[in-house]
Amino acid sequence: MTNATPAPGRGIAVITGASSGIGAATARSLAGAGFQVVLGARRIDRTSTLAGELGGRAYPLDVTDDRSVAEFTAAVGPCSVLVNNAGAARGLDPIASGSVSDWEWMYDVNVLGVLRMTQAMLPALVASGAGHVVVMGSTAGRVVYEGGGGYTAAKHGLAALAETLRLELSGQPVRVTEIAPGMVRTEEFALNRFRGDRAKADAVYAGVAEPLTAEDIADCVTWCVTRPPHVDIDLLVVRPLAQAAQHKVHRTAPSTG
């Protein structure tokens, strides 16, 4: 879906956490749909390469740092779409023994990072006359599960932020959409959650024939932001066929051959 010379007319779309996974896939998808993309992430080497491929721009961004957000926003200028994709999980510990610092970090990245970016970019989104805030939630923001207290609490908080923002922007030319994916297999999410433990990361997807991909979610983002301006997709929950619910995942038996 890569397009190094985007078609005119779609406007400027900002994607946070764009150095890999869903963020990078969303940048490719939006560029292919005609948006001029501006990529933000801490790994500026990756985003610069991708931006060059897509005919876009890239600036360093740490959504947990006020100064970084302010400098990024100043560099972006006008904007019509903000995709708050940056987010992550840490650990799978029960509440009784969970790390407070892990919980703080997850809340800072998944909730306060979206707050910082949305506050900073909102004037430009309103000024565009047809702004759109997309937040990357999760089914974890709808249903809890054992061992996921910190992450599910953060994603529930993010869902509340999106719903409240929609109420507060009533009458303004800005749409608010939450994308809530279920099981998505990317190269880094589970690996980062388990601090590089490949065996634990792989176990999350063991026996699942076709988890969602980053490109699947990127397609969802692109579809939402390309609806007519009067159409607001409030919430889009998307799961792989194998995942009937948060706790119900069809797994095939491992091969013995």
- Separation between Cα atoms, residue 225 and residue 202, nearest integer Å: 33
* pLDDT at 195 (0 to 100): 72
* pLDDT at 188 (0 to 100): 66
* pLDDT at 165 (0 to 100): 98
Determine the length of the chain.
257
Q: Which of 59, 107, 145, 151 is catalytic?
A: 151
User: pLDDT tens string for the chain (257 positions)?
Assistant: 333 343 456 899 999 999 999 999 999 999 999 999 999 999 999 999 999 999 999 999 999 999 999 999 999 999 999 999 999 999 899 999 999 999 999 999 999 999 999 999 999 999 999 999 999 999 999 999 999 999 999 999 999 999 999 999 999 999 999 999 999 987 767 666 767 667 776 777 888 889 999 999 999 999 999 999 999 999 999 999 999 988 899 999 654 43
In a domain, 254, yes or no: no
Question: Are the C-beta atoms of 19 and 187 separated by less than 8 Å?
Answer: no
In a domain, 30, yes or no: yes
pTM across the whole model: 0.91
In a domain, 253, yes or no: no
3-state secondary structure of 226: coil
- Separation between Cα atoms, residue 7 and residue 18, nearest integer Å: 21
Between the alpha carbon of residue 126 and those of residues 6, 51, 220, the distances in Å are 23, 25, 23
In a domain, 256, yes or no: no
Q: Which two tokens stand for residue 169?
A: 């922007």
- Separation between Cα atoms, residue 2 and residue 28, nearest integer Å: 5
Instruction: Give me the domain span that covers residue 27.
Output: 12-247
In a domain, 4, yes or no: no
Can you give the CATH number for the domain in which 45 is found? 3.40.50.720
Compute the half-sphere exposure of residue 16: CA atoms within 13 Å on the CB side of its CA. Answer: 29
* pLDDT at 257 (0 to 100): 39
Q: What share of the chain is helix, strand, coil (3-state, %, to 5)?
A: 45, 15, 40
In the chain, how many domains are there?
1
Question: Are the C-beta atoms of 131 and 178 separated by less than 8 Å?
Answer: no
- Separation between Cα atoms, residue 224 and residue 227, nearest integer Å: 6
Q: Position 128: which residue type?
A: S
* pLDDT at 253 (0 to 100): 66
Spatial neighbors of 225 by CB under 8 A, at least 6 apart, are: 13, 30, 81, 83, 132, 134, 177
- Separation between Cα atoms, residue 172 and residue 160, nearest integer Å: 19
In a domain, 36, yes or no: yes
In a domain, 128, yes or no: yes
**Is 205 labeled as catalytic in the residue annotation?**
no
Question: Are the C-beta atoms of 68 and 42 separated by less than 8 Å?
Answer: no
In a domain, 163, yes or no: yes
- Separation between Cα atoms, residue 134 and residue 26, nearest integer Å: 11
